[in-house]
Structure 1
Amino acid sequence: MPSSDNAVQGTNDSSSLSKASAANLGYFQDSYIKYFTSKKVRRSPLINRGYYIRQEAVTNTVIQFLNTKTFAGIEKQVISLGAGFDTLYFRLLEKDLKQELTFLDVDFPTVISRKVNCISAIRNHKIISEDDDKHRLDPNYFLAGLDMCQPNFLKNFLSILNWAGMSRYVPTLVLCEVVLPYLDSDKYELIINNITKIFPNLAFVAYEQVLTENCFTNVMLQHFETIGTPLRSIVKWPTVAERLNIFSEYDSACDKFFTCNMNEYIKHYLNEEELDRIDELEPFDEHEEFVLKCWHYILFIATKGLCSMVEYPQSFVPSPKSFISGNLDLKLLAMKPYMCYGHSATKFGRNVLLIGGFGRSPDGSDSRVKDIKCFHPDIVNFKPISSEIPLELMHHTSHSISDTETLCIGGRKSPRQINSDLYLIKESMKENEIDIAEIKCNCHKELLQRWRHAGDIITLNGRRGIFIHGGKRNGKIISDPIIVWLDNYSIEKIEFKTELPYLHSHTITAISNDTAVLIGGLAKSGTSSSAVYRLNFKESTYEKILDRSICSRFSHTVHYLNDKLIIIGGVSYDSQLPDVSVVCLNRLSVLSNYTLQAEEDTRLAFHCHASVLVNDNIYIFGGGGNYFSMENLQFESSQSVLLLWDSLQASALPEIVQFIENRVGKSGRVQCENVSMLTKSNHKASNFDLAISGFPLPSFTVHSNDLLEEIARILKPGGKLHVVEAITDSRTESQIASSLKLSGFISIEKKSLKIEENLLKAYQEHLKANNLSLNLFTSSKPNFEIGAKIALKLPGMTAPAPQQTVWALNADDANDDMDIIDTDDLLDDADLKKPDAESLRASCGDAQKKKKACKNCTCGLAEELENEEKSKAPAPKSSCGSCYLGDAFRCASCPYLGRPAFKPGEKVSLTDTQMKADI
């Protein structure tokens, strides 16, 4: 795990890119953020909306403080602790709010130094003075480097205040935007105590995380843990009420408080016109994840002295809810989980058909599910069913019109690719197969184009039909009630005396032939409906029969049983919800609520699920939101895995880590690292068995040679690397493979990955390329350390045989007593006489006309004569007699080899090269 300081600083870079993504799309105005980001990215709509609501809440709170009439004409101060690359000061300048204002940014010295370098690129904004880690920009803007975790924080902080000329007594707003939860609880408490003591006129504003009782809590905690920035203090003060106690238990305590979570902020401070503007910016269909995320972020304001005169709106502190535990029998079935959401489930004889959704495909990839699965309640087992027409639909409805027929209506493949046909599913004569017929509608076909709608089977004037209402079309919430008649599959538009509300992700449940109940849904106002309506189709009327916060939900399911409505799951803007609520229609009251747990302290995700009532038993399938699969990768027990991430969704990374941990076992380990921080971290060499980069999707990381070389350094010999990267005209497969080879990787393999349409659009817009694909590259580090030596085996070369040491002395003879002959005694006077030239001349062949070498010639004459004979040898001639016919009739040594065929007797010129021997 990277060091805590490095990881926290890494969140600044990621946050700046996310703010730039939202600003580029028009969520808010920020013309300065581009100077603080080195690249242009496009985050998912969920992340863009999250940063939009964060920017709105924080910025409007600061502006409200500066515009307070009580402070008109007097000095005001804003101090941003953990400011990072936030551009709040520059945005206040654009709104002409710098009068009588002194602004101070405080963060790690390295972060402030980088921020100052970025500011130097902004025209008309230059650094006036610098002093170590303190910088002055403009007369009233100061930046200071200070580590809040250091023991001498208070002393250094007071020194910075004196350097900036800031007063302890003027109205001061201290802003902590997602900062304090990263600190230990004692440091959190110490900073709060010191800040409240220093400033008697204080407005302390914090935007930070809290814990709730829904399923997103564990996902959020694990997410921050896996990226190396655990929420240390949030465990001690998990709720809003416990945060209030910190500010009220000291002698210098604050006396006025305001708090609300982001769902409450949206509900009370964003009007319908603004919500419509946001909806038009980009396709968005992650409503459930957004609501769950907003429950976990709060805006907290504590004031004292003059700052308590600021008129903030009323506080919205959610009261804790205790759900009644009833005698509901929850049976956890012993089977593999059905990992899917946005699908539908319907009875099909004695079984249940599961159609569409987004989840696990048979090939192990995560995408829209093509295959239909059949669930057998008796044996608690899933069975795949094949068909000729794939139904890759999400957020559609399916209705059992007989024991052997099901009708599929609406749904989408992407927010811009909407289904406008009916699909009739019938039992096939072949085993494990079904027949799907596509029914083309000629009349009112456009009314079928919708998703996230609701409907059920009714009988009106003796005709059976499926009533359909609401949903989304072209990004807009609609009403458009219709009936699909089952006798001829015609479509009829239904008019009620009073227009039905505009809703999506709600439910309609028939309670009699011509009566149904409508519950919940997401309204045009951006909030969840708390009303329960009774629809009378015979009279074409409807009435509200119940309005309770417990019914305020969407993406739930409802079943009618024994005059009771059993409501399962859903999410809400208004309150935390139980997993199951039972409403009595006779009494028009909520009888009981239930919380379901799969295991201790683990809440299940009951939204975007499907459920079916079979013989008084309710079966719940799937649910949740975006998740990620890594089945394409291979893991081994006890492996040490490094997971490199870039852009991510909060719910994706923890599930990936959990998936890998299950594969590597307790003896293995999983470590996460922001890919931009890898080269700055001090990882040991040869530390990991496996490295994974490019997950979760989308990831726009370009794996440079420096990055790949660092990965190769920290991988063990023989370790593997899995990299996902987009292939475009400017970034080809060969370039990526070449980078891997140059970085030291071998055994490079490529596999194409399927990509969802919304992800494809994100890649296309970010990379400015229409033609692209997503590939998984698998490679290995050589099985030796850097600096190791190995003998090269070159082709055609063999090791020379060891030479015999004929005259070598044996070491055993060193002490031999036998006398050694003196070589000088073997020579006489004639041998010692110096020879002259005449005596050395060879006598062979001198008296002959023709030279002739001796039999055992040692003077070199034999070699000389042999070379002369070779030079006089005639040119090779073919004796086969068929050379003129071409190469097919020529031998290997033929001088005409390679020449075209010729006529017998025709003169053919041969080059010197052709006449030379090959050896």
Structure 2
Amino acid sequence: MIIESMYPPAPANRSERVHDADAANAALARLSAVRKGYLTDRFISSLLPRAQLQPLRSPLINTGTYVRSEAIDRLVEQWLELSKPEGQPCQIVSLGAGSDTRFWRLMDGPWKEQIGAYFELDFPDVTLKKAMAIRNPRSGLQHYSWSFGARSVRSPNDVRITTSAIILVDLGGQALHSSRYHLLPCDLRNPPGDIFPGLFKEYLSPTLPTLLLFECVLVYMSPEASSILIQWFVDFFSPSTHTPSPGALGCTVYEMFGLEDSFGQVMMNNLRARNVSLPGAKPYPSLESLPSRFLKHGFTSGKALTLRNIRSNYIEPSELERISSLEMLDEVEELNLVLEHYAITWGVKASSSISPWIEWGLRPVKQQLADTV
């Protein structure tokens, strides 16, 4: 059953169109990695028109897509695992979600009971296309969006409806709400205090452990806008009269950095040719500077790794051997240069330094092996 309210979509501006193109490029890169056997994702083709006709990407792009996805998947799954002893479900907020399929992959696996609510935010043009794909009966995505547990949702007319078989369509088709999944249109560069209270309504709980995901988002924003954005969540998950014991707050950022060297300048020139700028990269010229994004906002801990380091030390040798057998990779030196300019940063804000959430983070293969002995 679908309940729909009719509000005209807002027109897209140039920044939205650039971001829309980048979101499509990321989805096409993932599709290529899936088709070549690097990754398993039976949902990505449902979010891309004429998926079977899309060209494959180079081995360099396929490898980078694999490392990025594998690392972020591990961080997300470990966050969900840590919530089990707490006896609470988790919330995940994916900001600039694009055509990401993580919600459906999680709900199709062993982690579905740990998902209390999953939010995806992006420009209206992006969410409109994603909402249309979800609502397409042939995609199969509707089933995963609404079929896990009866929850209370609120209709556009403020009528409370409790059922597991309803998906609310709002804002002219740009927004969706279901028992666990919420797709929300917004411009993250705008003041979050002006948009988030209305978007999240009563769906986002300050008492549940919550993980924020930023994949190639903050680097496109001004440092001031991204700082205000993170601070809004820090304030929302801070102790208050109404919330004396807020849930742990985690954050993962994936983006390029250190673009002031010669190879970084080549990357920047390529982006400028596409009329794309990266104002958010300037404050982070080195790997060591990346955790400061969290620490200056009072996070308990923060750490960053380059994709090159993750590929070398955080992925099992057997898996690297499997990946190397899929395609001939001639551009090893170029791959290392590219992976050296992309990083995954994660941080956690917990109630105390002895919280189990402090243990959250990627572990090198040697440590993983030692833990199993």
Taking structure 2 as the reference length, the TM-score comes to 0.78
Q: In the alignment, is residue 74 of structure 1 matched against residue 122 of structure 2?
A: no
Residue of structure 2 aligned with 1:244, choices 278, 291, 301: 291
Match of 2:126, as an amino acid? V
SS of equivalent to 2:290: helix
SS of equivalent to 1:67: helix
> 2 CA distance for matches of 1:184 and 1:260?
22
Q: In the alignment, is residue 197 of structure 1 matched against residue 232 of structure 2?
A: no
**Residue 315 and residue 298 in structure 1: after superposition, are their counterparts in 2 closer, same or farther (change >3 A)?**
farther
Residue of structure 1 aligned with 2:187, choices 147, 150, 159: 147
**Residue 38 and residue 87 in structure 1: after superposition, are their counterparts in 2 closer, same or farther (change >3 A)?**
same
Number of aligned residues: 311
1:768-815 CA deviation, whole Å, 9 max, x = no partner? xxxxxxxxxxxxxxxxxxxxxxxxxxxxxxxxxxxxxxxxxxxxxxxx
**Residue 84 and residue 124 in structure 1: after superposition, are their counterparts in 2 closer, same or farther (change >3 A)?**
closer
Q: In the alignment, is residue 28 of structure 1 matched against residue 28 of structure 2?
A: no
1:578-602 CA deviation, whole Å, 9 max, x = no partner? xxxxxxxxxxxxxxxxxxxxxxxxx
Q: In the alignment, is residue 156 of structure 1 matched against residue 170 of structure 2?
A: no
> 2 CA distance for matches of 1:197 and 1:271?
38
**2:3 is matched with which residue?**
none
Quote how far apart the aligned CAs of 1:174 are.
0.5
1:818-874 CA deviation, whole Å, 9 max, x = no partner? xxxxxxxxxxxxxxxxxxxxxxxxxxxxxxxxxxxxxxxxxxxxxxxxxxxxxxxxx
Quote how far apart the aligned CAs of 1:54 are.
0.9
**Residue 220 and residue 75 in structure 1: after superposition, are their counterparts in 2 closer, same or farther (change >3 A)?**
same
Quote how far apart the aligned CAs of 1:5 are.
2.4
Q: Which of these two proteins has the greater Rg computed from alpha carbons?
A: 1
Q: In the alignment, is residue 52 of structure 1 matched against residue 100 of structure 2?
A: no
> 2 CA distance for matches of 1:278 and 1:147?
37
Match of 2:134, as an amino acid? I
1:344-399 CA deviation, whole Å, 9 max, x = no partner? xxxxxxxxxxxxxxxxxxxxxxxxxxxxxxxxxxxxxxxxxxxxxxxxxxxxxxxx
Residue of structure 1 aligned with 2:360, choices 312, 332, 337: 312
CA contact (8 A) 1:208 1:299 kept: yes
Match of 2:301, as an amino acid? K
CA contact (8 A) 2:83 2:209 kept: no
**2:149 is matched with which residue?**
none
Residue of structure 2 aligned with 1:182, choices 207, 215, 220: 220
Quote how far apart the aligned CAs of 1:239 are.
2.3
SS of equivalent to 2:303: strand
CA contact (8 A) 1:184 1:233 kept: yes
CA contact (8 A) 1:182 1:232 kept: yes
1:531-575 CA deviation, whole Å, 9 max, x = no partner? xxxxxxxxxxxxxxxxxxxxxxxxxxxxxxxxxxxxxxxxxxxxx
CA contact (8 A) 2:168 2:177 kept: yes
1:95-134 CA deviation, whole Å, 9 max, x = no partner? 2312141101000111111001111232261561122143
> 2 CA distance for matches of 1:55 and 1:221?
23
SS of equivalent to 1:68: helix
**1:639 is matched with which residue?**
none
> 2 CA distance for matches of 1:75 and 1:20?
30
CA contact (8 A) 1:257 1:315 kept: no
CA contact (8 A) 1:178 1:206 kept: yes
> 2 CA distance for matches of 1:213 and 1:271?
32
Higher RCO, 1 vs 2 (CA within 8 Å, ≥6 residues apart): 2
Q: In the alignment, is residue 112 of structure 1 matched against residue 127 of structure 2?
A: yes
**1:643 is matched with which residue?**
none
> 2 CA distance for matches of 1:48 and 1:116?
27
Quote how far apart the aligned CAs of 1:22 are.
0.5
CA contact (8 A) 2:260 2:285 kept: no
**1:550 is matched with which residue?**
none
Quote how far apart the aligned CAs of 1:225 are.
1.9
Quote how far apart the aligned CAs of 1:235 are.
1.3
**1:889 is matched with which residue?**
none
Q: In the alignment, is residue 282 of structure 1 matched against residue 327 of structure 2?
A: yes
**Residue 306 and residue 67 in structure 1: after superposition, are their counterparts in 2 closer, same or farther (change >3 A)?**
farther
**1:741 is matched with which residue?**
none
Quote how far apart the aligned CAs of 1:60 are.
1.1
Please show how residues 596-607 of structure 1 align to structure 2 within 5 Å: none
Quote how far apart the aligned CAs of 1:10 are.
0.9
Match of 1:225, as an amino acid? R
Please show how residues 361-440 of structure 1 align to structure 2 within 5 Å: none
> 2 CA distance for matches of 1:124 and 1:14?
21
Quote how far apart the aligned CAs of 1:189 are.
1.6
Match of 1:272, as an amino acid? P
Match of 1:162, as an amino acid? K
SS of equivalent to 1:130: strand
> 2 CA distance for matches of 1:191 and 1:73?
29
Q: In the alignment, is residue 10 of structure 1 matched against residue 55 of structure 2?
A: no
**1:619 is matched with which residue?**
none
**1:91 is matched with which residue?**
105
Match of 1:116, as an amino acid? A
**1:299 is matched with which residue?**
344
> 1 CA distance for matches of 2:283 and 2:57?
32
Quote how far apart the aligned CAs of 1:254 are.
0.3
Please show how residues 720-799 of structure 1 align to structure 2 within 5 Å: none
Please show how residues 634-673 of structure 1 align to structure 2 within 5 Å: none
> 1 CA distance for matches of 2:346 and 2:31?
26
Residue of structure 1 aligned with 2:48, choices 9, 27, 37: 37
**Residue 196 and residue 239 in structure 1: after superposition, are their counterparts in 2 closer, same or farther (change >3 A)?**
farther
Quote how far apart the aligned CAs of 1:27 are.
0.3
CA contact (8 A) 1:258 1:314 kept: no
> 2 CA distance for matches of 1:314 and 1:279?
22
**Residue 205 and residue 155 in structure 1: after superposition, are their counterparts in 2 closer, same or farther (change >3 A)?**
same
Match of 2:92, as an amino acid? V
Quote how far apart the aligned CAs of 1:262 are.
0.8
1:145-179 CA deviation, whole Å, 9 max, x = no partner? 1111224x32321222224x220121000000110
Match of 1:215, as an amino acid? S
> 2 CA distance for matches of 1:111 and 1:209?
22
CA contact (8 A) 2:80 2:114 kept: no
**2:30 is matched with which residue?**
19
**1:220 is matched with which residue?**
267
**Residue 71 and residue 187 in structure 1: after superposition, are their counterparts in 2 closer, same or farther (change >3 A)?**
farther
Quote how far apart the aligned CAs of 1:213 are.
6.4
> 1 CA distance for matches of 2:348 and 2:363?
13
Match of 2:23, as an amino acid? N
**1:130 is matched with which residue?**
169
> 2 CA distance for matches of 1:112 and 1:291?
34
**Residue 217 and residue 124 in structure 1: after superposition, are their counterparts in 2 closer, same or farther (change >3 A)?**
closer
Q: In the alignment, is residue 256 of structure 1 matched against residue 301 of structure 2?
A: yes
> 1 CA distance for matches of 2:300 and 2:81?
21
CA contact (8 A) 2:75 2:362 kept: no
Q: Which runs of 5+ in 2 are unaligned?
A: 1-12, 144-165, 239-247, 366-373
> 1 CA distance for matches of 2:325 and 2:363?
30
Superposition CA RMSD, Å: 2.2
SS of equivalent to 1:13: helix
**Residue 191 and residue 68 in structure 1: after superposition, are their counterparts in 2 closer, same or farther (change >3 A)?**
same
SS of equivalent to 2:193: helix
Quote how far apart the aligned CAs of 1:228 are.
2.0
Quote how far apart the aligned CAs of 1:71 are.
4.6
**Residue 71 and residue 148 in structure 1: after superposition, are their counterparts in 2 closer, same or farther (change >3 A)?**
farther
Match of 1:245, as an amino acid? S
> 1 CA distance for matches of 2:329 and 2:269?
25
> 1 CA distance for matches of 2:15 and 2:175?
24
> 2 CA distance for matches of 1:105 and 1:45?
29
**Residue 263 and residue 255 in structure 1: after superposition, are their counterparts in 2 closer, same or farther (change >3 A)?**
same
> 2 CA distance for matches of 1:34 and 1:70?
32
CA contact (8 A) 1:212 1:295 kept: no
